[in-house]
Structure 1
Amino acid sequence: MRTNVPGGLVVVAIDASERRVVEARLGHGEHPEVVLGAAGWGIESPFFATMRDDGALELGYRVSELDGIRPRREGVARDAGVGDGEVGEPYQRVAAYAVVSSARGLLLTQFNTQTHVAGDWGLPGGGLDDGETPVDGVHREVWEETGQRVELGGLLTVQSHHWVGRSPSGTLEDFHAVRIVYAATCPDPRDVVIHDVGGTTSDARWVPVTELGDYPLASSWRRLDALLDLAAGEGRAGGTYDAS
């Protein structure tokens, strides 16, 4: 399997007594809530995302004993034009993003024609480099795509999406996207500068929260609670960042 985190992913369940009650590998296409649910634990909130000395990336969650039906693995979605019998190359890509707010608004980036969602908008961030921590990765990506320096807040969510589709180059991929999303603030917001020339960002802007609904968001971000709350006027994304 092709991946940008060769050490693999490990999900960790932390109970109310701060005990690590479960550690399990997250395989290609697997989802944390399903893996932990199979062990009898329900996710309450994400807690940390840190690199281990052996190169594995740990995704930690606050959990409670599961009461009710265990989450089940959903079927694998397929892009239009991809037949049921077509087999893609497995690719697990781990990326880090930030919901960045400041006195100038919310920081958004626009995808260019190197992607399948050209013209849509999303959060600054992107794939981790080999051996890079999510914290280092999100700081690097925000700077490359927007020229801003940020202060991280809480770990908001970890998205896990699995589908079969074609990459921009035409390669058929069995794609597993793991997106680690932080809250962040920018104490000194400046005019946007895109340093990553040749990347997938065509534009970046500070957007007033009241205008967020005017920007077509990529599907990954249309369902993000932190953005929905901002659009509804419930304040800035927040939380407490744990760097353990």
Structure 2
Amino acid sequence: MRIVCVATEGGSPLFSSALGHGEDPYLTVWQHGLTLTRTLSAENTSNEIVLTVQGAPTLHRPVQRRRRRHHPQGSELPTRRQRVAAYGIVLSERGILGTEFSKLTNASGSFGLPGGGIEPGEQPPHTVVREVHEETSQHVTIGPLVDVQSDHWIGHAPNGRFEDFHAVRLVYTVFCDDPTDPVVIDVGGTTASARWVPLDNWRDTPWVSGSRALLAKHLPEARRLWALHRAERD
């Protein structure tokens, strides 16, 4: 994955840098003396996924990056894996769309935002549309890219493989004009069930920490955009 940072939308790049394994995009921008102020677009090119962000100068002294050393458990070496995925904060008149993690995951019984891994040659917005339909049977319209989230850990995956895993999540605001009772189409995968969560008490749902943080940060603006979308539709 590559980060391209511009001062203004459509402007010339301030820098272009590959996102190193385990690195957070916000830190990558900060290392160049800038603050990531806005995510603009994500495109799957022939060679890599390119995330374009807007940056503003910040008063700090960039520090030299230190490579993280991995200490294997015993003689076992972790398999390094970076996974770029796309997710949606999906809003409708019935609330927020949430998906329950299945027993194939380490978060069984908790809820997250619908989405998943970007397939080769697939554009990130198309990933969200496809994954939302596979996980919940809903048909949606893509809104703006609102954030990028990164997690890095070393441990055993649900399949037992010892991994040095870097998760990068592109997050979009998404609208569902004709919500129905969610049905999981991709049965037997990582999604056990799906449901619409009422907006007024969304915090009562057992969201995983990453999804809860994204909703707390972006839900007010997502609700505003949803209201504008409905007004334009009507």
What TM bracket, shorter-length normalisation?
0.7 to 0.9
Is contact 1:91–1:176 with CA below 8 Å preserved after alignment?
A: yes
Aligned to 1:50: 43
Shift of 1:74: 9.3
Residues 1:199 and 1:71: Cα distance change in structure 2 (over 3 Å)? farther
Determine the C-alpha separation between the residues in 2 that align with 1:130 and 1:227: 31
Q: What does residue range 16-27 of structure 1 map to in structure 2 within 5 Å?
A: 16=8, 18-27=11-20
Runs of 5+ in structure 2 lacking a partner? Answer: 229-234
Give the Cα separation in 1 of the matches to 2:141 and 2:54. 23
Structure 2 residue 206 is the aligned partner of structure 1 residue 213: no
Q: Percent identity?
A: 39
Q: Does the CA-based 8 Å contact 1:184-1:238 persist in structure 2?
A: no
With over 3 angstroms needed to count, the CA separation of the structure-2 counterparts of 1:86 and 1:67, relative to structure 1, is farther
Q: Which amino acid counterpart does residue 21 of structure 2 have in structure 1? A: H
Alignment of 1:156-235 (within 5 A): 156-224=146-214, 226-227=215-216, 230=219
**Normalized against structure 1, the TM-score is what?**
0.83
Matched, 1:41 2:28: no
Return structure 1 stretches of 4+ with deviation > 6 angstroms.
71-76
How many residues are aligned here? 225
8 Å Cα contact 2:33-2:60 kept in structure 1 = no
CA distance, structure 2, for counterparts of residue 84 and residue 35 of structure 1: 32
CA distance in 1, matches of 2:64, 2:119: 31
Task: Give the whole-Å Cα distance in 2 for the aligned partners of 1:108 and 1:45.
Answer: 25
For structure 1, the residue ranges without an aligned partner over 5 or more in a row are: 1-8
Other structure's SS at 1:27 match: coil
Out of 131, 143, 161, which is 2:133 matched to?
143
Q: For the residues of structure 2 that align with 1:172 and 1:70, how far apart are their CA atoms? A: 33
Q: Secondary structure at 1:198's aligned position in 2?
A: coil
| Distance across 2 between alignment mates of 1:105 and 1:170 | 36
Change (3 A) 1:175 1:72: farther
Letter paired with 2:32:
A
Paired residue for 2:232?
none
Give yes or no for contact 1:16–1:64 (8 Å, CA) kept in 2.
no
Could you tell me how far 1:162 is from its partner in structure 2?
A: 0.8
Summarize deviations over 1:101-143 as a string: whole Å, max 9, x none: 1101110000010000000001111111122111111110000
Change (3 A) 1:207 1:88: same
What code does the residue aligned with 2:188 have?
Answer: G
Match of 1:63 in 2: 55
Cα distance in structure 2, aligned partners of 1:209 and 1:71: 42
